[in-house]
Amino acid sequence: MLKSINPTTGKTVKTYEAHTEKGIEKIINSVDKSWHHWRQSSYSERATAFQNLSTLLRSKKEELALLMAIEMGKVINEGISEIEKCAWVCEYYAQNAESFLENEIIQNEASRSFVSFQPLGTVLAVMPWNFPFWQVFRFLAPTLMAGNTAVLKHASNVPGCAVAIEELVREAGFPENVFRTLLIGSNLVENVIKHNAIKAVSLTGSTSAGKSVAAIAGSVLKKCVLELGGSDPYLILEDADLEAAAKICAKSRLLNAGQSCIAAKRFIVVDEVYPEFLEHFTHEMNTAHFGDPCESETTMGPMARINLRDELHQQVVESVKKGAEIILGGEIPNRKGAFYPPTILESVTSGMPAYDEELFGPVAAVIRVKDEKEAIKTANETTFGLGAAVFTNDLKRGEIIAEFKLEAGCCFVNDFVKSDPRLPFGGIGESGYGRELSTHGIKEFMNVKTVVVK
């Protein structure tokens, strides 16, 4: 039995009957059977289905945003934006998949040589709760447009979103069993990965979950793409527009109540502008209105679960014990629900959870450094490598730092890190491997096949 629990009220919204092992077997076999037909469909047929899905998403965006608000606490406006982004990725791959997967002609001694991209089969997606529609659709659109089929194991606290996605795909006119949801707990993921019909795995989640899935997939020689945690550094240099930087940094830290792998986590500020930036940043963080995500004036909802809120608070407490200072927030509010206030910690140093670990919630670690060189060194002192940003009015300087000096998969100048269907997305180190989105993402679950005709 899977429960949907409203993090604002703590009340159970709905319960869902979990699939049995027999039910899981039936679903996977049905999806595998569908693949043999779906792979032979034309790009035009697939594109039509995805254009229908895009239209359907937009027509139901308020309804789906409300579902997210109730199930995991996302504020309505952010939920609507998430659904719009899902519609966009459907359109993007409907329009571009065919050209992305055209044969690549290679000139050699043979009369004809080329590289062909062929679908692998059924791919398992293990997805998180923090962006319960977007994380699925950024996998689903390229995977199905490429001719694969898919099964989804969604996070156990968003079963309503998981069921809704399957219903949307069906309503959009996709053939039966091209995409299905498995309502199961994490204890059954290993069996699914090892199923003969599953050809590859995509996981977005924690580093520990990624290591577990990678080990299982590796044991049966199945490819996986992993998008894991992050501790994204944002560098504030002495020539930055401090007021603008503070607004962008606060937005990145508080988006989705700070529950994002690519949210700004560590703010590394050069000494010359530290006091002024901190003043602006504190003001911006303090303007957030946290409350019921269904209310229009709310800009930040609760965290997704009480236990996640409590784990975050413990990281704050441990950091303070080791010398960090609370500038803003840092206390669990006396109210019902999984709420945690916007929080700023300074005097953060190595050895503290706020420095070494991912803070998956609205807590900012501000770190004071001497200059650009120390800022870059501090930014790279992490096992993660998902995103990073640098703020400077010298765009060439920022570009050089982003391209050559910051060790991460996605580096931005004067903006917060975000995913975009047109750009590859993914990390290095304990942030995972492989890429989603763009031309790179659609080729991850393909057989890159060499064909030589003598």
Going from N- to C-terminal start, the domains of the chain cover 2-228+428-453, 232-413
Question: pLDDT class for 120, splitting at 50, 70, 90?
Answer: very high
Q: Is 221 left (phi over 0), alpha (psi -120 to 50) or beta?
A: left
What does the pLDDT read at residue 331?
97
What does the pLDDT read at residue 292?
95
Instruction: Name the active-site residue from 78, 91, 166, 227.
Output: 227
The Cα 269–Cα 290 span in angstroms is: 27
**Residues 120/125/126/127 CA torsion (nearest 10 deg):** 150
The answer to pTM > 0.95 is yes
- Among 29-33, 182-186, 288-292, 362-366, name the one with the lowest average pLDDT: 288-292
Give the pLDDT mean for 377-394: 98
Question: pLDDT class for 377, splitting at 50, 70, 90?
Answer: very high
**CATH architecture under which domain 2-228+428-453 falls:** 3-Layer(aba) Sandwich (3.40)
Give the pLDDT mean for 378-402: 98
Residue 294 annotated in active site: no
Nearest in space to 383 (alpha carbons), one of 351, 433, 430: 430
Question: pLDDT class for 157, splitting at 50, 70, 90?
Answer: very high
State pLDDT tens for residues 40-86: 999 999 999 999 999 999 999 999 999 999 999 999 999 999 999 99
Residues 6 or more apart whose Cβ sits within 8 Å of residue 33? 177
What does the pLDDT read at residue 428?
98
What does the pLDDT read at residue 90?
98
Q: Is 253 left (phi over 0), alpha (psi -120 to 50) or beta?
A: alpha
User: Which CATH number is 232-413's, of 3.40.309.10, 3.30.1490.190, 3.30.499.10, 3.40.50.2300?
Assistant: 3.40.309.10
Residues 6 or more apart whose Cβ sits within 8 Å of residue 224? 200, 201, 202, 203, 213, 214, 217, 434
Q: How many CA atoms, within 13 angstroms, populate the side-chain half-sphere of residue 154?
A: 33
What value does the CA radius of gyration of the chain take, rounded to a whole number of Å? 22
The Cα 184–Cα 177 span in angstroms is: 17
What does the pLDDT read at residue 256?
98
The Cα 243–Cα 284 span in angstroms is: 9
> Beta 104-105 vs 112-119: how paired, if at all?
antiparallel
CA dihedral for 314, 317, 321, 322, sign (positive or negative):
positive
Contact (Cβ atoms closer than 8 angstroms) between residue 87 and residue 134: no
Contact (Cβ atoms closer than 8 angstroms) between residue 230 and residue 358: yes
Contact (Cβ atoms closer than 8 angstroms) between residue 111 and residue 453: yes
Question: pLDDT class for 225, splitting at 50, 70, 90?
Answer: very high
Residue 227 annotated in active site: yes
Instruction: Name the active-site residue from 86, 161, 224, 261.
Output: 261
Chain mean position to CA 114: 34
pLDDT, mean over the chain: 97
